[in-house]
Structure 1
Amino acid sequence: MRRAGILNRHLAGALAELGHGDLVLVCDAGMPIPRGPRVVDLAFRAGVPSFAEVLDGLLAELVVEGATAAKETRRANPAAAALLDGRLPALRLVPHERLKRLSGGARLVVRTGEASPYANVLLRCGVFF
């Protein structure tokens, strides 16, 4: 039994398999999930767990060297944009349609229960050394 950190066994195991350069899509409940990547669906009810809770938990466990989000987030969801700006200083913005295409290359998709628009980010794993 783990004492702290991510307790969900499916998510903890998936994170342990990631390597340098692997992509992880953290998405809201409405984001289309591409075929291919491993999916850990944490959604329970609308808003639970939130995008912020899941992102913070993942950032505490992962080394992230880059991130990509939809540029539409700034206009349509200022709270999510502020969260991403505060947590991911090297955030790259692309059109939402491009983000959906890029997510096809993800190794892992973590679906949250977030019910607000454009609460999605593609994280690129780094190394701790």
Structure 2
Amino acid sequence: MKKSKLINTQLSLAIARLGHGQALTIGDCGLPISEKTQRIDLALTHGVPGFMETLDVVLTEQQVEEVVIAEELATVSPALFEQLTARIAQLEQDQDRDVTLTMVSHETFKTLSDESLAVVRTGECTPYANIILRSGVVF
């Protein structure tokens, strides 16, 4: 049995498959997911699992060099935006390297998420609670 926090087989495999520059998207329950992109559906009901708790577990496994979010998050869901930016700052300390924060329109975000290796669907219902995590390297 794995020792790390992440025990979901599909999600663990998706992260293990990521190469440098490839992306994993974590989305709220309303984010459209392309038929061509692997869907990892964790949603049980509204709010379960939540966006931040899912992100926190993923970040225990994935090396991240860039984070992409919709610029609308800052104005529509400012509390989540603040949580997220604090978590990115903590991630930089944990990884001992910078993490680029890229903000794009929600429409651009949806297009970029289609290019992800996989999209993780959570039960989150907070508007614009979506993130693309572009992988870095551990060396």
1:46-85 maps to which residues of 2 (within 5 A)?
46-85=46-85
Identity rate, percent: 43
Cα deviations by residue, 1:11-65 (Å, 9 ceiling, x for unpaired): 1112111111111111000111122221111001100000000000111110000
Alignment partner of 1:126 is 2:106: no
Taking the aligned partners of 1:13 and 1:102, their CA distance within structure 2 comes to: 21
Taking the aligned partners of 2:12 and 2:60, their CA distance within structure 1 comes to: 12
Q: How many residues align?
A: 129
Instruction: State the TM-score, normalized to the length of structure 1.
Output: 0.94
Which contiguous aligned blocks of 4+ residues in structure 1 show a shift greater than 4 angstroms? none
Taking the aligned partners of 1:111 and 1:36, their CA distance within structure 2 comes to: 15
RMSD: 1.1
Alignment partner of 1:109 is 2:129: no
Does the 8 Å CA contact 2:50/2:123 hold for their aligned counterparts? yes
What residue in structure 1 maps to residue 44 of structure 2? Answer: 44
Does the 8 Å CA contact 2:14/2:117 hold for their aligned counterparts? no
Ranges in structure 2 where 5+ consecutive residues have no aligned partner: 90-99
